[in-house]
Structure 1
Amino acid sequence: MKSPILNKIGTVFIPVRNIERSVEWYSDILGLEISNEILHGHLYVLPMVGTGIVLDSKIFSDDTIFKSPAFHFDTEDIEKAYDFMKSKNVEIISGIEYNHYFNFKDLDGNLLMVCKC
């Protein structure tokens, strides 16, 4: 029997403390215009290419923050991405590892990754 579940990730939910502040922060580091509205007072859909990201302030707690990266953001130039994040005063957790990736934290302590594609 063929599975009715697709081998495709639709959306990743990121728990955030303050939805307005997080919308501004993620939009800034991803170079996005703030073009969507905050839904139901706690959800914001980032306009991504491919798999979606939803910022959600209703699910935030110290237990829900990402303690290891659940996904990575792609880059074509890892050094340029690293320098860009430093210039934005983002909390960078690692150096560029294996000339391929680095880890950083968002405003709420979620551990995220940028990886050379």
Structure 2
Amino acid sequence: MKTNVIQKIGQIGVPIKNIENAIEFYKDALGLPLLFSTDSMAFFECNGQRLLLSLPEKKEFATSSSVIYFQVEDIKIAYEELIEKGVPFIDQPHVVAKMENTETWMTFFNDTEGNTHALICEVQI
């Protein structure tokens, strides 16, 4: 008997309160390509992963989302570029893990809707 085995994540949903503010932030500040939007939803492309911003259908879905870790090539450059675009960071880029020849760097920020996300970068040392 064949079982349904999860193969990949098809979409990540983030609850929002204001569609216009959210679209502006994810498109203009973060630079994600907007695929399309409606009055209550916006779909973005992130290197093969679809990101859905949506007004919650029910009150119980109106809480903030899980942290999305956006991978970048150079976290210090990405941090500076996003600071210039007004992205509100919670902290500065810092090492969170060291494994043999690799350091993992992160920095956390908030979107316009109160959701916390992060930049992540793996650096060969």
TM-score w.r.t. length of structure 1: 0.81
User: Equivalents in 2 of 1:54, 1:113: separation in Å?
Assistant: 17
RMSD: 2.3
C-alpha distance 34-46 of structure 1, shift in aligned 2 (>3 A): closer
Counterpart contact for 2:91–2:109, Cα < 8 Å: yes
The alpha carbon displacement at 1:35 in A equals 5.0
Task: Specify the alignment match of 1:79 in structure 2.
Answer: 76
Query: For residues 82 and 60 of structure 1, what CA distance do their matches in structure 2 show?
Result: 34
2:50 alignment counterpart:
52
Shift of 1:59: 4.8
> Partner residue of 1:64?
63
Residue 21 of structure 2 is matched in structure 1 by 21
1:102 aligned to 2:101? no
Alignment check: 8 A CA contact 2:105 2:121 kept: yes
- Cα offset for 1:16? 0.9
SS in structure 2 at match of 1:53:
strand
Deviation (angstroms), 1:51: 1.9
Query: Going by fraction, where is strand more abundant, 1 or 2?
Result: 2
Aligned residues: 113
Indicate how the Cα distance of structure 1 residues 78 and 27 shifts in structure 2: closer, same or farther if over 3 A, else same: same
Identity of aligned residues (%): 28
Identify unmatched segments of 5+ residues in structure 1. Answer: none
Contact 1:45–1:53 (8 Å) recurs in 2: yes
Whose Rg is larger? 2
Which residue identity does 1:42 align to in structure 2? Answer: S
